[in-house]
Amino acid sequence: MRKLKLDELNRATVDEFKAQDKLPVAVVLDNVRSMHNIGSIFRTSDGFAVEQICLCGITAQPPHREIEKTALGATQSVNWTYYETPLQAVEQLRKDGYRIIAIEQAENSTMLHEFKPADDGKYALIFGNEVNGVSDEVMQVIDGCIEIPQFGTKHSFNIVVSAGIVLWDFFAKMAIAPPKPSPEGRA
C-alpha cells in the first residue's frame, strides 16, 4: 500500500470549502484555556466541515501564533464568532434553530452511541473548560447532554479527543456526503 502525496489528496481551497455543504453543527468552546486545544478543534472542525465555531469567555481568538500551530490554517476556513459568555452564544444559537447539547458527564446524560440526531436537526455542541467542564450556568439551559462512554481509570478525555470522537459520530450518523470532485479534479 502506498501513502498518497499531498498533491493527490484533492483538498478544497478555502473558497471551495466555504461554498460546500456543511455538517449542521456549531461547536461551542466554553472557556477553553489551551490555545493548542483551540487550534486543534479548528482543524478537526475543518476536517468534518462544521458550520461554525463559537469561542466564549476566556477562549482565545485567532489570529494567534499558538492557535495556528495546531490549526494549520483552519482558522481561515471555518467560520467563527466570539461571545463574551457561553450563555450569549447559546441564546443566539437557539434563535438560529440549533438544539443545544452539552458534551459532559452528567445525571441523565445520553451515551453517545445511543444518541440519534434528527436528519434535519441543527446542533450546537458545547465543549467545556479543560478542568471544570461545561459551566454550571450553561448546564441549566441545555436541551440535552451527551456523554462519551469510558472504561479506563481516568475520568475524562482531553477536549480535543472528545471533539474528534463526537464530531465523527455526528458526521457518520447524519450521513453527510463528502463534496463531489469538480471536473477539474478538485474536491
Provide the percentage of residues in the chain whose pLDDT is more than 90.
90
3-state helix, strand, coil in the chain (%, to 5): 35, 20, 45
Predicted confidence (pLDDT) per residue in 40-49, tens digit: 999 999 999 9
The domain 20-174: what is its CATH number?
3.40.1280.10
Residue 169, judged by CB atoms within 10 A of its CB (0-12, 13-18, 19+), counts as middle
Predicted confidence (pLDDT) per residue in 25-35, tens digit: 999 999 999 99
pLDDT of 116: 97
Residue with cell 466541515: 49
Q: Is the pLDDT of residue 186 over 60?
A: no
Q: Is the pLDDT of residue 180 over 70?
A: no
